[in-house]
Amino acid sequence: MVKPTLEPGTLIDGFRVEEQLHRGGMATLWRVSSPGVDTPLLMKVPRIGEGEDPAAIVSFEMEQVILPRLAGPHVPRFVAAGDFAVQPYIVMERVAGETLLPRLPRLPLPYAEVAAMGAKIATALDHLHRQHVIHHDIKPSNIMFRPSGEAVLLDYGLACHDQLPDLMQEEFRLPFGTAPYMAPERLLRVRNDPRSDLFSLGVLLYFFTTGVRPFGESETLRGMRRRLWRDPEPPRRLKPDYPPWLQEIVLRCLEIEPAWRHPTAAQLAFDLGNPDSVKLTGRSERIRRDPLSTAWRRRFNRDLTQRRQTTVTAQLASAPIVAIAIDLGEGSLALHDELREMTRRILATLPSARLACLNVLKLGRISMDTTLDEQGHNKHIDRLVALRHWASPLKLGDSQLTVHVIEAVDPAAAIVEFASVNRVNHIVLGARQNSMMRSILGSVSAKVAAEATCTVTVVRPAQTEAAATAQPDQAPQAVEA
Amino acid sequence: MRVALLTDIHANRQAFAACLACARAEGTEQFVLLGDYVGYGADPDWCVSTVMDLVAAGAVALQGNHDCAVGNPRVQMNSEARAAIEWTRSQLGREQRSFLAELPLTFEDWGLLFVHADASRPGNWNYVLDAGDAARSIQATTAHVTFCGHVHRPALYSMSTTGKLTTFTPTSDVPIQLLQGRQWLAVLGSVGQPRDGNPAASYAMLDTTRREITYRRAPYDIESAANCIRAQGLPPWLADRLAVGR
């Protein structure tokens, strides 16, 4: 054991050490202050020296490299790093509040609460993966929530960045991480699959809803390797009232083969945020584990050991969420066909993409709207049916397609908000046909194109013959915004 | 200090000019050229003169196996390279030939080592193709970072204090920190004849203060460079390969 080199009052590069907050296996955490900085600061100092794990050094070096490259509310803000030659440290924002760790004695928690929490964590993972980083240590003690609600992911000591050398890969013969949460492929030294983080989140969701860890707490390699072929008890066996949609999501996260999990964290967040849209498969019904014969067959499955040549970016790009806004009221048949054709083209090369068809049910600004039309039909349900009908020629699997009717006063704002909340990668919508309507009501597509934070494609149908003669080169067109 | 690292220019004037322009535009304070200014390409005269001008202005230039072969017929080469080097010899003046013959094999400064090929025996021109080759080269030096070329495919190796070696294919334009607790070997891509499937000219920028290396790619007029090779009657594959980067 090495004596701590720091003590309250020590000054390091202008940071004044205040008190020790935590002493972990690989590092100690100190509260520090700096003149002129109002936000609370945290200094992380690695435990290096005789008798300490050499892993701590490599892990800390990686965190020093990765943390400064990350941005956004889901990561503690990086402030400064100290050289190994003098005193290695990282100073970062101290996020207020507690991690999920103190909640463990009170498990299980209500399903809705865990699902909401899971959606926030999945959204944070999506942000992280989009910045080329796989966390590799998702567990309760590494997750906090900001007062504004966003999940914050802590500790990048095991993380890898797909544009930087992975120093952790070669350093250890044995997989390094937190045993109960580690994805099966990690046991085979695969470190480049972002879906490993989805597995860990699945373990957390299972644990928080049942109070039981799906793969126990075994720390031995032999015990951990069981998850390569043995599936966990379905949650419904432990809790008969377990919602089928939640079991569907949790067991999909815990699939042994990464390809069977949600393709991206954004798609997982989408499911957790839209329980009604979750496509239920055999997973949701299951009350027993797979028969031993299946498990035995899996034991000799060699697919998992194949090293994947894909990057985080490629995996994310192959599975976007595409939102298509369809105007059922005004849109012409030609526009509907053109929108469908555009959608078909976008999905053609993306088998893991997910299509969200949405329609905005416009509400009056003042009048009290009824959901029933003059004939007493439920407008909401009619539109869901119409959306499904529009999408049926695309022949998408149920797990690839969701339909949504949103009630809103401002259709453009509703589409932009839907895209932002659901981490949509690409919005496709038609341009309003009737130029008089457009001049009175304004262009929804123009507003969406201007305000959305993702790619927007505005589709126009082929022009009528009369118009085409006037403008011969105005073929069907799409505008990328 | 911002150091531009260029290697394996191979008489490709268009690629060399493009890399020099890009490197100057991003504020290069020091040029280090790691050899093979001639061979394969059609403009040895211009390329060697440009290197001589850079050296006169403070650049560091090392010798590569093709530069050595110009004045030393005993250097082993394949038939295409041999044909190109014999033609090259006829294109260079005496002053240029003696400049190439007198270039040093290595340069060491700032804790960094620059060499054309494997650092364990610089004059043997061994390739650093994999982790084994990299380990041999790294173990032969005490430098924090070794830079070499010769392979024409960018790669970045590191060896930890426990002797574990990591292999990495760099992504263009992403700065990589060369952490201090380990030794690094940066294999640079080729300016004039890339072979990693990306035909754009390859070079790298080193920031000695931040200890960061950034691999760069510069687009250049490949068609002109290839046409010059064909026009000189050099082996046609030397022209064709430029467009595919193989």
Does the pLDDT value for residue A481 go beyond 50?
A: no
Co-location of A42 and A71 in the same domain = yes
CB-CB neighbors (< 8 A) of B176 in chain A = 164-165
Shortest CA distance from A311: residue in chain B = B171
CB-CB neighbors (< 8 A) of A169 in chain B = 166
- What is the distance between the alpha carbons of residues A197 and A253, in angstroms, rounded to a whole number? 9
Co-location of A186 and A289 in the same domain = yes
Optimal mutation site among A61, A166, A174, A309, interface B, most CBs of chain B within 10 A? A61
Query: Cβ(B52)–Cβ(B44) under 8 Å?
Result: no
Segment 70-129 of chain B within 8 Å of chain A by CB: none
Average pLDDT over residues A456-477: 60
Decide if B124 is inside a domain.
no
Decide if A6 is inside a domain.
no
Segment 190-209 of chain B within 8 Å of chain A by CB: none
Query: Cβ(A41)–Cβ(A30) under 8 Å?
Result: no
Burial class (CB in 10 A: 0-12, 13-18, 19+), B148: buried
pLDDT of residue A245: 97
Query: Cβ(A163)–Cβ(B173) under 8 Å?
Result: no
pLDDT of residue A407: 86
> How many independent structural domains does chain A possess?
3
Q: Which domain holds residue A21?
A: 11-93
Written as six digits, the tokens of A401 are: 């397609």
B166/A84 touch (CB, cutoff 8 Å), yes or no: no
pLDDT of residue A427: 94
Q: In Å, how far are A84, A183, A262 from A178, measured between CA atoms?
A: 26, 10, 22
Does the pLDDT value for residue A306 go beyond 60?
A: no
How do residues B197-243 score in pLDDT, each as one tens digit?
A: 999 999 999 999 999 999 999 999 999 999 999 999 999 999 999 99
Q: In Å, how far are A19, A23, A297, B205 from A88, measured between CA atoms?
A: 18, 16, 49, 26
Phi and psi dihedrals of A14, rounded to 5? 90, -5
Co-location of A215 and A272 in the same domain = yes
Assign A436 a pLDDT band (cuts: 50, 70, 90): low
Closest CA to A131 of A406, A288, A384, A316: A316
B162/A84 touch (CB, cutoff 8 Å), yes or no: no
Written as six digits, the tokens of B204 are: 């790298």
SS3 letters across B60-73: EECCCHHHHHHHCC
CATH code for the domain in which residue B230 is found: 3.60.21.10
Optimal mutation site among B130, B167, B171, interface A, most CBs of chain A within 10 A? B171
Does the pLDDT value for residue A54 go beyond 60?
A: yes
Query: Cβ(A117)–Cβ(A108) under 8 Å?
Result: no
DSSP codes, A158-223:
T-EETTS--HHHHH-SS--S-GGG--GGGGGT----THHHHHHHHHHHHHHHHSS-TTTT--SHHH
Query: Does residue A320 or residue A4 have the better pLDDT?
Result: A320
Co-location of A86 and A105 in the same domain = no
pLDDT of residue A474: 41
Which residues, including other chains, have CB under 8 Å from residue A291's CB and lie 6 or more apart? Answer: none
- What is the distance between the alpha carbons of residues A71 and B194, in angstroms, rounded to a whole number? 34
- What is the distance between the alpha carbons of residues B121 and B105, in angstroms, rounded to a whole number? 10
User: First vs last Cα of chain A: how many Å apart?
Assistant: 59
Co-location of A117 and A221 in the same domain = yes
Minimal CA separation from B184 to chain A, in Å: 11
Query: Does residue A376 or residue A324 have the better pLDDT?
Result: A324
Decide if B153 is inside a domain.
no
According to DSSP, the residues that pair with B155 across neighbouring strands are B187
Q: Does B186 touch chain A (CB under 8 A)?
A: no
Query: Cβ(A66)–Cβ(A78) under 8 Å?
Result: no
Instruction: Tell me the average pLDDT of chain A.
Output: 85
pLDDT of residue A371: 64
Average pLDDT over residues A325-351: 84
Nearest to A57 among B165, B176, B181 (CB): B181
Assign A236 a pLDDT band (cuts: 50, 70, 90): very high
> How many independent structural domains does chain B possess?
1
Query: Cβ(A258)–Cβ(A183) under 8 Å?
Result: yes
Query: Cβ(A92)–Cβ(A109) under 8 Å?
Result: no
Co-location of A143 and A264 in the same domain = yes
B179/A65 touch (CB, cutoff 8 Å), yes or no: yes
Q: Does B164 touch chain A (CB under 8 A)?
A: yes
B166/A85 touch (CB, cutoff 8 Å), yes or no: no
User: What is the percentage of chain A residues whose pLDDT exceeds 70?
Assistant: 85
Q: Does B179 touch chain A (CB under 8 A)?
A: yes
Of A316, A348, A368, which residue sits at a domain end?
A316
Burial letters A311-329, b for 16+ CB under 10 A, else e? bbbebbeebbbbbbbbbbe
A165/B165 touch (CB, cutoff 8 Å), yes or no: no
Which 3 state secondary structure label does DSSP give A83? coil
pLDDT of residue A253: 97
B160/A58 touch (CB, cutoff 8 Å), yes or no: yes
Minimal CA separation from A64 to chain B, in Å: 10
Optimal mutation site among B130, B144, B156, B160, interface A, most CBs of chain A within 10 A? B160
A interface with B, Cβ–Cβ < 8 A, is: 54, 57-58, 61, 64-65, 83-85, 163-167, 169-171
Nearest to A163 among B164, B165, B171 (CB): B171
Q: Taking each helix axis as running N to C, give the angle between helix A265-273 and helix A111-130, from 0 to 180 degrees, rounded to the nearest 10.
A: 150
CATH code for the domain in which residue A469 is found: 3.40.50.620
Co-location of A110 and A177 in the same domain = yes
B179/A61 touch (CB, cutoff 8 Å), yes or no: yes
Co-location of A163 and A271 in the same domain = yes
Decide if A202 is inside a domain.
yes
Which 3 state secondary structure label does DSSP give A339? helix
Report the predicted TM-score, pTM, of the whole model to 2 decimal places: 0.82
Q: How many CB atoms lie within 10 A of CB A80?
A: 17
Q: Which domain holds residue B99?
A: 2-116+168-178+188-244
**Which of A95-109, A182-196, A460-474, B47-61 has the weakest average pLDDT?**
A460-474
SS3 letters across A252-309: HHCCCCHHHCCCCHHHHHHHHHCHHHCCCCHHHHCCCCCCHHHHHHHHCCCHHHCCCC
Co-location of A88 and A191 in the same domain = no
* Residue corresponding to tokens 């050398």: A165
Phi and psi dihedrals of A92, rounded to 5? -140, 170
B158/A167 touch (CB, cutoff 8 Å), yes or no: yes
Co-location of A77 and A181 in the same domain = no
Co-location of A57 and A155 in the same domain = no
Which 3 state secondary structure label does DSSP give B114? strand
A65/B164 touch (CB, cutoff 8 Å), yes or no: no
Co-location of A86 and A215 in the same domain = no
B181/A84 touch (CB, cutoff 8 Å), yes or no: yes
Decide if B159 is inside a domain.
no
Digitized pLDDT (tens) for each residue of chain B, 246 residues in all:
999 999 999 999 999 999 999 999 999 999 999 999 999 999 999 999 999 999 999 999 999 999 999 988 787 888 888 888 889 999 999 999 999 999 999 999 988 999 999 999 999 999 999 999 999 999 999 999 999 999 999 999 999 888 888 999 999 999 999 988 889 999 999 999 999 999 999 999 999 999 999 999 999 999 999 999 999 999 999 999 999 999
Query: Cβ(A326)–Cβ(A338) under 8 Å?
Result: no
Assign A135 a pLDDT band (cuts: 50, 70, 90): very high
B180/A171 touch (CB, cutoff 8 Å), yes or no: no
Written as six digits, the tokens of B209 are: 């203060």
pLDDT of residue A476: 44
B158/A165 touch (CB, cutoff 8 Å), yes or no: yes
* Residue corresponding to tokens 């390409």: B41
Decide if A1 is inside a domain.
no
Query: Cβ(B194)–Cβ(B19) under 8 Å?
Result: no
CB-CB neighbors (< 8 A) of B160 in chain A = 58, 167, 170-171
CB-CB neighbors (< 8 A) of B168 in chain A = 164-166
Decide if A5 is inside a domain.
no
CB pairs under 8 A between A and B: 42
Which 3 state secondary structure label does DSSP give B131? helix
Q: Does B130 touch chain A (CB under 8 A)?
A: no
CB-CB neighbors (< 8 A) of B184 in chain A = none
pLDDT of residue B158: 94
- What is the distance between the alpha carbons of residues A22 and A25, in angstroms, rounded to a whole number? 10
According to DSSP, the residues that pair with A456 across neighbouring strands are A427
Instruction: Tell me the average pLDDT of chain B.
Output: 94
Q: Does B174 touch chain A (CB under 8 A)?
A: yes
B162/A54 touch (CB, cutoff 8 Å), yes or no: yes
Q: Does B177 touch chain A (CB under 8 A)?
A: yes
Assign A301 a pLDDT band (cuts: 50, 70, 90): low
B164/A166 touch (CB, cutoff 8 Å), yes or no: no
Decide if B130 is inside a domain.
no
Count of H-run helices and E-run strands, chain B: 8, 12
According to DSSP, the residues that pair with B115 across neighbouring strands are B106
User: First vs last Cα of chain B: how many Å apart?
Assistant: 33
Decide if A4 is inside a domain.
no
Of A43, A65, A93, which residue sits at a domain end?
A93
